[in-house]
Structure 1
Amino acid sequence: MKTILFWICEELPLSLWKPENLISCYMRCFRRLIYCAEYACCPHYFIPENNLFGNKIHGKAQKLLLNRLYILNSYGWQCILLSDQISKLYAVPSDSSMETSYSYPKSVQRLLNSDMLILETATNPFKFLIERVIYKVLLGKSSTIKYIYAYYMSIFCGQSDRYVPLGDISCNTSTYKEYNTYISALLLYTRHDATSGWLMLSTFFYKRKQYHTALHNIQYSVLKCTPEKLYYSMQLSDIHNALLNLHVFRNMPIVQLWKFLLVGFICIRKSELQPDELQTVERNRFPPIVYAHFLRFLCHYHLKNSRQCLDSLKELQFTIEGNYFTSGDVFKGISYNILGIGFQLLGYREAARQSFIQSIELFPNEKHNSAFRKLSLLN
């Protein structure tokens, strides 16, 4: 692998070797390793005439090696979780006697199905209760207090109905200070999960017509939506069980774990921060990756980037059809409604109509699904 890395470093431009491209670069090296094993040829980097695989892998040994490499490649980057050098992972339990090794993942599973993750849609009385809880927590002396405090304060900083209308920042000093206050509060909102805070910040820049800055933040958020992440009401896979049994995660407070692994809802009420194009959508909770692609579409729409608009809608459609970070028919129905809005903005009436129909089939609630009304206007 070291030799292959040397060769590929020489082949690829320096601009590709960035942290955000780590996984793709790693997988490129891994696929090259498979190629070298298939042809039993891996030239030494400093002495190219020296074949490191020469007369070393052939026949049954070569088939065995390739079989293992094909299996590892099927896992994608997650194959590193099977490495003894990374961690001493627990084996997948084959009987009930090994069940206890998965007690921590099971507790995470219960939390993923609890109401803890939907506090952002809490009613005012419940918010008041949480404020009292925060006050009591602050009076305690627990070493975990900073995580609990950061979690709840992060959620409150994201309550969009607490924000007041923001004027033109070029008017005066006080308005400029208000602008910085928004930014500070939204940055605090990034502390309770891996994605929703950054998407809320992207929404703020979008509303300020800073579309390029919004696109930069959206890209950062999308890169965080990787397969190992957790989301509301999901079922843990074997890979997730293995991941959560890693020493680094087992010893991590749950609030800190959310910040690394949780992909939370986007919750934007009808307020200063809500995009105008979503004002007609009754539900205010959106799957994060769905919202990210739609917000990216809106930015390109206002920048008049036609090709990027279509690309964003295609990615949004693939995301919905693949159930990517989307749990349940209701959220999938909301997602199709959003997709229909995008097609409607571009003038694709038939595509919009089909999206609204799919939304209604999945979420047949005329009171809370505006796709009914939109579809009637198209017919």
Structure 2
Amino acid sequence: MFLGKINSSNKHAILVVLESIQSGGIDGLIMNLFPTENRSLLRINVKSSLAMLDFLFYRTKVISMRGSYTAKDYNKLAIIKYLLKSESSTFIVDVCKYYYAEFNQVLAQQLPSPITKGNWYNLQKYFHILLQNGTKIDAVSGWLLYASYYYVTGKFHITLRLTDYVLSIWSPDMMLDSEYDWELHTRRYRQNTHSTITLNDRMKMYTIRDVIYTMNSSLIPKELQLEVETGAFFIPPIVMSHCLNFLSYHHLGDIVNRQKSLHDLHLTVKNRYSISTSCLSDSITIVGICYEISGAKDTAYQCYEEALQMGCHFSRTADIRKSKLLSNTFEF
């Protein structure tokens, strides 16, 4: 980022840099910053430079989820499609692919409920197109939205297959793209990535992000609908995987696996496996909801109490759920 004032001594240099970005994107900028005689230095540090550019994107992208989309948002989608066709920079193309996939995740959740009666075939077709496009953001979040779709439609065995897939590829080495241990993840990320694969592929193989349910999402399980009544709901993928397992086994009447899933969920949140600070309170609330469904009311109450002690990032619904639990307990 340029710091200082533009004057007669630097304006020509700045214009050259801006023109290189305009004509060649990030690739043009790099070639301008590293003249021919310094290309060997660029090749030596290309892996480090790629990682730093990736981290810059992970740090600066802003995820803004709203209950509905306006005409301006559809204009943004048109711009993304235009850039995908016209932009020469592979980095910018992959950034566009990320936002295109994110938009598809959001749009899928704005469709009517997948169990809506009427033109059922076309609705299911749209869901599959959008959800498949939405799997291209990172390694797991899109697949969990797909699992949620099958859960909402009552296809619990397919939900379990998808969550098992997510848990099989999930690794603590993967980088949570919004919050990470700088030294640990930069080292592992650089070890795992190389310049021959694109940013989009690197994201799909080596990063995870929270599953984001939009306000009034048509894909969130009915047991969690309270979480999206007033805004978007962010939940770590490993937490959502165990939650969907628990709920699916509950509906299938498989008590043994239901309790195992609840145990796994409890340990995941207790040990904070890949759970960001901002999602901890909501994750504890999810544990409480599952305990309440299983009949362990006292443990559920303790979870809701704990969720409310998480400082500024506390659950929006823990207090409501705690109050409802108390009122049901004292009913005669």
The structure with the larger Rg is: 1
- 8 Å CA contact 1:340–1:351 kept in 2: the answer is yes
Percent identical pairs in the alignment equals 21
Question: Is 1:196 matched up with 2:196?
Answer: no
Q: CA deviation at 1:191?
A: 1.1
Q: 1:233 to 1:132 in 2, by over 3 A?
A: same
Q: 1:361 to 1:276 in 2, by over 3 A?
A: same
In 2, Cα distance between equivalents of 1:224 and 1:120: 27
In 1, Cα distance between equivalents of 2:192 and 2:250: 45
User: Match of 1:285, SS?
Assistant: strand
User: Match of 2:218, SS?
Assistant: coil
5+ residue gaps, structure 2, are: 1-43, 327-332
Q: CA deviation at 1:133?
A: 3.7
Larger RCO (CA under 8 A, 6+ residues apart): 2
- 8 Å CA contact 1:214–1:299 kept in 2: the answer is yes
Match among 276, 280, 302 for residue 222 of structure 2: 276
Partner of 1:219: 164
Match among 295, 315, 320 for residue 373 of structure 1: 320
User: Match of 2:200, SS?
Assistant: helix
In 2, Cα distance between equivalents of 1:279 and 1:257: 33
Match among 177, 199, 207 for residue 254 of structure 1: 199
Question: Is 1:360 matched up with 2:308?
Answer: yes
Q: CA deviation at 1:345?
A: 0.8
Partner of 1:210: 155
Match among 98, 119, 134 for residue 151 of structure 1: 98
In 1, Cα distance between equivalents of 2:115 and 2:67: 28
Q: Deviations over 1:126-157 (max 9, x none)?
A: 73563254144145241526534432221121
Question: Is 1:298 matched up with 2:243?
Answer: no
Q: CA deviation at 1:260?
A: 1.2
Q: CA deviation at 1:119?
A: 4.7
Partner of 1:112: 58
In 1, Cα distance between equivalents of 2:317 and 2:67: 22
User: Match of 2:151, SS?
Assistant: helix
- 8 Å CA contact 1:121–1:267 kept in 2: the answer is no
Aligned-partner residue type, residue 289 of structure 2? I
Partner of 1:176: 121
Partner of 1:235: 181
Q: 1:127 to 1:314 in 2, by over 3 A?
A: farther
Bigger mean CA offset, 177-186 vs 124-133 = 124-133
- 8 Å CA contact 2:68–2:110 kept in 1: the answer is no
In 2, Cα distance between equivalents of 1:138 and 1:167: 34
Q: CA deviation at 1:107?
A: 3.8
Question: Is 1:335 matched up with 2:280?
Answer: no
Q: Deviations over 1:195-245 (max 9, x none)?
A: 01110110111011000011001110112211221112111344x334333
Q: 1:221 to 1:100 in 2, by over 3 A?
A: closer
In 1, Cα distance between equivalents of 2:212 and 2:130: 15
Aligned-partner residue type, residue 235 of structure 1? D
Match among 105, 110, 130 for residue 162 of structure 1: 110
Match among 129, 134, 145 for residue 80 of structure 2: 134
Aligned-partner residue type, residue 162 of structure 1? Q
Relative to the length of structure 2, the TM-score reads: 0.73
Aligned-partner residue type, residue 320 of structure 1? V
Partner of 2:5: none
Aligned-partner residue type, residue 375 of structure 1? K
- 8 Å CA contact 1:105–1:245 kept in 2: the answer is yes
- 8 Å CA contact 2:193–2:202 kept in 1: the answer is no
Q: Deviations over 1:28-69 (max 9, x none)?
A: xxxxxxxxxxxxxxxxxxxxxxxxxxxxxxxxxxxxxxxxxx
Partner of 2:297: 349
Q: CA deviation at 1:186?
A: 0.9
- 8 Å CA contact 1:222–1:292 kept in 2: the answer is yes
In 2, Cα distance between equivalents of 1:209 and 1:100: 48
User: Match of 2:194, SS?
Assistant: helix
Q: CA RMSD in A?
A: 2.9
In 2, Cα distance between equivalents of 1:99 and 1:320: 38
Q: CA deviation at 1:310?
A: 1.4
Q: Deviations over 1:64-109 (max 9, x none)?
A: xxxxxxxxxxxxxxxxxxxxxxxxxxxxxxxxxx999755444444
Relative to the length of structure 1, the TM-score reads: 0.65
In 1, Cα distance between equivalents of 2:134 and 2:313: 32
In 2, Cα distance between equivalents of 1:136 and 1:176: 30
- 8 Å CA contact 1:334–1:363 kept in 2: the answer is no
In 2, Cα distance between equivalents of 1:175 and 1:122: 23
